[in-house]
Amino acid sequence: MFKTLNTLLLACLLVAPAASAMQMKDYHKEIMTGDNGKVECAICHGDVKRKTIPAASQCESCHGSSDDMALQTARPKDAGHDVEPNPHDSLHYGTDLPCSYCHREHKQSKVYCNECHKFEYPNMKR
Amino acid sequence: MSDKQPLNHRRRQLITGGVALAITGLGASMAKPVSAACVPAHEIKFDEVVDIIVVGSGFAGMSAALQAREAGASVMVVDKMPVFGGNSTINGGAMAVAGSPLQQENGIKDSVDTMVADMLEAGRGMNDVEMLKLICNGTAESCQWLTDYGVQWKPFVQHFGGHSLPRILQTVESSGAGIIRPLIKAAKKRGIDMRTQTKLESFIKDDRGRVTGIEVKANYFFPKERSGVTRRYGARKGVIMATGGFSRDIEYRKMQQPKLTKELDSTNHPGANADALKQMMLIGANPIHLDQIQLGPWASPDEKGFGTASQFNTIATYPRGIVVDARTGKRFFNELADRKARADAIMTRRDDQGQPVYPIGFTNAEGASKAQTLDWGLKYNVIKKADTLEELAKIYGIPADALKAQVTSWNKAVDIGEDSQFGRPMQKAMKLEQGPWYAVRMWPKVHYCMGGVKVNTRSEVLHLVSYEPIPGLYAAGEATGGIHGASRLGACAVAEGVVTGRNAGQICAASKSIVLKHVQSS
């Protein structure tokens, strides 16, 4: 009896953490959850068995291109130093940086620019 | 005795009976290079083949790629990071140019020989003079080449520390991005295959020892070593290594300079490690001057990386202000000495426990008028503003009377045009008479590796034993060693990167192609 329980327990531990157990942003969880109540990992990760970090093109299917994102967070033309730089259109990198280097789904997001800078983006969903 | 026996026994097993085990162990620790190099040439198949592969996309890499493309070669640029440009696109965008039109307009008489002499002096005579000549001789023409690709320069010449006269041109953006972004745009337009997230794992050589390509991890996600898929890319003409230095590789830099611990921040991007250097060494490249690691003397401990203070100090505090010891209010070094002299001087400021006592650099509104990062520095509280010298002294706990006395004596030195205390060049010196004052706390950061692989003036990487070129392998920019000696002068990395990158691109493109097998990956 104990042996069976142990085996079961072990089997549970060995299975990759279920999506439901993984940290997710609420708004994404809501959209990604199917009729069966399960999060559909494939929406971002595709059907491959070994999950990898999604390419920007995956994000773009809902959020639009990197140029679209840059427009959404554009600074007003006459903006001074009180307005932070556009996080989606950098002096150094243009619109090249893939989404996932800042926006993390299963752990806390971070600002890549802040390897050097101290930009504050309070509206960014961490 | 009894302890040693099993060990010896085990060793013998490894040597004799356990050969398979020993080789497995070696394979694991040295990863792919051994296995890749052992495949007979006719059996090596590549997923993709081009004429030239450039590894790295900074000044050297982009210059090499474009120059090679101009010469008609097909070129692929790979970079392991998610973005192009490495340190180059986050640097200050300042290029030392001997004999620029802007110098002539301003009546500044400069020459290639003068620039070589300046770099030799800063390098404490350790420099490779032939390489220095190649670089200095190429600056004016390369500057024009960059302008033709759309780089825009500020309309004035600057005087950076260690140079005997003003010869620095700077992009209007005050960033190397002002060079890198136009070059990337041009590269894409001209059909250069530009790839990020592609990490060099090892070199592939044929059985005559020629480098024929690289093994990479495509879709690599820095810094996750388990990410990515293995691919082999072949290069008919050669591989150009423009892989920069290892300033952010704390473990490796500590092996060279044990004092450069994790407590010292770096101005570099997070990918600046020794991985590519090690791969070059594994196939016989000769490492030169690896322990010559430069600290940037214009950085501030109150922010990460290059930040806002570095530009503020190079354009304002150093040429048009002064730096004082916070405890005495007194100057203690020549603010326009070369980087090594300044960084060494700053790092002598410590308390009884050896903890840093950050010196204070400051100038006034007039001195800071050209500092584009001033407002950002103020916003993030890195640069501080004071209306009077008393207020400035209070902010940093400097004795006010001593500070005022120092300013008075500095102004006298400017009047007579001579700094009798520290011998600072006074061409751009300015009297400090009126507030408001702008100041920063200063402490050096690891900035540049003078060391790297030994190359010749054809940018060929030379073999450690034969001193002959390793066929098919070229290197340019910070990845190479010996050019700057003990201390690189400011704005000479852009000069070096662009000139040696173009040199490598041109020579590699003119070299003979070899035939490589290409498989279409399924």
- Chain B nearest-CA distance from A6, in A, is 31
- Interchain contact B221–A (C-beta under 8 A): yes
Token pair recorded at residue B208: 């005559």
Q: For A55-84, what is the mean pLDDT?
A: 93
**pLDDT at position B40 over 70:** no
How confident is residue A8, by pLDDT bands cut at 50, 70 and 90?
low
**Catalytic residue of the set B339, B342, B441, B488:** B339
Residue A67 lies in a domain: yes
How many Å apart are CA B69 and CA B488, to the nearest integer? Answer: 30
Residue A65 lies in a domain: yes
How many Å apart are CA B294 and CA B162, to the nearest integer? Answer: 14
- Interchain contact B448–A (C-beta under 8 A): no
Phi and psi dihedrals of B427, rounded to 5?
-55, -40
How confident is residue B158, by pLDDT bands cut at 50, 70 and 90?
very high
B38 or B152, greater pLDDT = B152
Of B28-42, B61-75, B76-90, B339-353, the poorest mean pLDDT is in B28-42
Nearest CA in chain A to B372: A81
**pLDDT at position B49 over 60:** yes
- Interchain contact B436–A (C-beta under 8 A): no
**In A, which residues are within 8 Å of B304 by CB distance?**
114-118
Residue A16 lies in a domain: no
Of A22-26, B172-176, B332-336, B414-418, the poorest mean pLDDT is in A22-26
Q: Sign (positive/negative) of CA torsion B448, B82, B171, A75?
A: negative
b/e B374-395 (16+ beta carbons within 10 angstroms → b)? bebbbbbebbbbbeebeebbee
Token pair recorded at residue B142: 């390369």
Task: Name beta bridge partners: B171.
Answer: B153
Distances (CA, A) of B281 to B203, B216, B252: 11, 17, 14
**pLDDT at position A13 over 60:** no
Q: Where are the alpha helices (DSSP H) in B308-441?
A: 309-312, 318-320, 339-346, 374-379, 389-396, 400-416
CB within 8 Å of chain A, chain B residues 141-200: 173, 175, 177, 180-181, 196-197
Burial class (CB in 10 A: 0-12, 13-18, 19+), B296: buried
Residue A111 lies in a domain: yes
**pLDDT at position B34 over 80:** no
B117 contacts B194 by C-beta, under 8 angstroms: no
**pLDDT at position B37 over 90:** no
**pLDDT score of B428:** 83
Cis (ω within 30 of 0) for the bond into B223? yes
- Interchain contact B372–A (C-beta under 8 A): no
Mean of all residue pLDDT scores within chain B: 92
**pLDDT at position B10 over 60:** no
Of A28-42, B35-49, B291-305, B385-399, the poorest mean pLDDT is in B35-49
Strand pairing class (B75-78; B193-195): parallel
**pLDDT at position A59 over 90:** yes
**In A, which residues are within 8 Å of B90 by CB distance?**
92, 116
**pLDDT at position B26 over 70:** no
Q: Do A96 and B82 lie within an 8 Å CB cutoff? A: yes
**pLDDT score of A115:** 87
Q: Do B304 and A116 lie within an 8 Å CB cutoff? A: yes
Residue ranges with strand state E in B267-345: 287-288, 293-296, 322-324
How many Å apart are CA B335 and CA B333, to the nearest integer? Answer: 6
How confident is residue A80, by pLDDT bands cut at 50, 70 and 90?
confident
Q: For B425-431, what is the mean pLDDT?
A: 91
- Chain A nearest-CA distance from B18, in A, is 34
**pLDDT score of B22:** 38
**In A, which residues are within 8 Å of B269 by CB distance?**
115
**In A, which residues are within 8 Å of B221 by CB distance?**
52-53, 100
The partner residue sitting opposite A91, judged by closest CB among B84, B177, B307, is B177
Residue A26 lies in a domain: no
The domain in which residue A102 lies consists of: 55-71+87-125
The SS3 assignment for A108 reads coil
Residue type, A79: A
How confident is residue A7, by pLDDT bands cut at 50, 70 and 90?
low
How confident is residue A17, by pLDDT bands cut at 50, 70 and 90?
low
Percent of chain B with pLDDT over 90: 88
**In B, which residues are within 8 Å of A91 by CB distance?**
173, 175, 177
Residue A42 lies in a domain: no
The partner residue sitting opposite B303, judged by closest CB among A82, A94, A118, is A118
Q: For B412-436, what is the mean pLDDT?
A: 95
Q: Do B83 and A80 lie within an 8 Å CB cutoff? A: no
How many Å apart are CA B11 and CA B470, to the nearest integer? Answer: 35
Q: Apex CA B223: angle with CA B218 and CA B294, to 5°?
A: 115
- Chain B nearest-CA distance from A102, in A, is 11
**pLDDT score of B48:** 97
B9 or B95, greater pLDDT = B95
Q: For B238-242, what is the mean pLDDT?
A: 99
Nearest CA in chain B to A114: B304
- For B117-132, the pLDDT digits (tens) are 999 999 999 999 999 9
**In B, which residues are within 8 Å of A98 by CB distance?**
82, 197
Residue A13 lies in a domain: no
Q: Do B85 and A80 lie within an 8 Å CB cutoff? A: no
* Total domains present in chain A: 1
Distances (CA, A) of B216 to B126, B202, B387, B522: 35, 7, 56, 17
Phi and psi dihedrals of B196, rounded to 5?
-90, 180
Burial class (CB in 10 A: 0-12, 13-18, 19+), A80: exposed
Nearest CA in chain B to A94: B181
- Chain A nearest-CA distance from B185, in A, is 11
**pLDDT at position B203 over 70:** yes
Phi and psi dihedrals of B216, rounded to 5?
-130, 165
Residue B167 among the catalytic residues:
no
How confident is residue A9, by pLDDT bands cut at 50, 70 and 90?
low
Instruction: Note the pTM of the prediction, 2 decimals.
Output: 0.89
- Interchain contact B79–A (C-beta under 8 A): no
**pLDDT at position B333 over 80:** yes
Phi and psi dihedrals of B266, rounded to 5?
-130, 155
**pLDDT at position B256 over 90:** yes
Of B53-57, B196-200, B377-381, B394-398, the poorest mean pLDDT is in B377-381
Percent of chain B with pLDDT over 70: 91
Strand pairing class (B48-55; B469-475): unpaired
Nearest CA in chain A to B268: A116
Token pair recorded at residue B102: 């802007």
- Interchain contact B84–A (C-beta under 8 A): yes
**In B, which residues are within 8 Å of A117 by CB distance?**
303-305, 307
A20 or B258, greater pLDDT = B258
Nearest CA in chain B to A91: B177
The partner residue sitting opposite B173, judged by closest CB among A52, A82, A91, is A91
Backbone dihedral region for residue B470 (phi beyond 0: left; psi -120 to 50: alpha; all else: beta): beta
How many Å apart are CA B54 and CA B200, to the nearest integer? Answer: 11
Q: Do B227 and A94 lie within an 8 Å CB cutoff? A: no
Of A71-80, B136-145, B279-288, B492-501, the poorest mean pLDDT is in A71-80
Of A80-84, B246-250, B301-305, B430-434, the poorest mean pLDDT is in A80-84
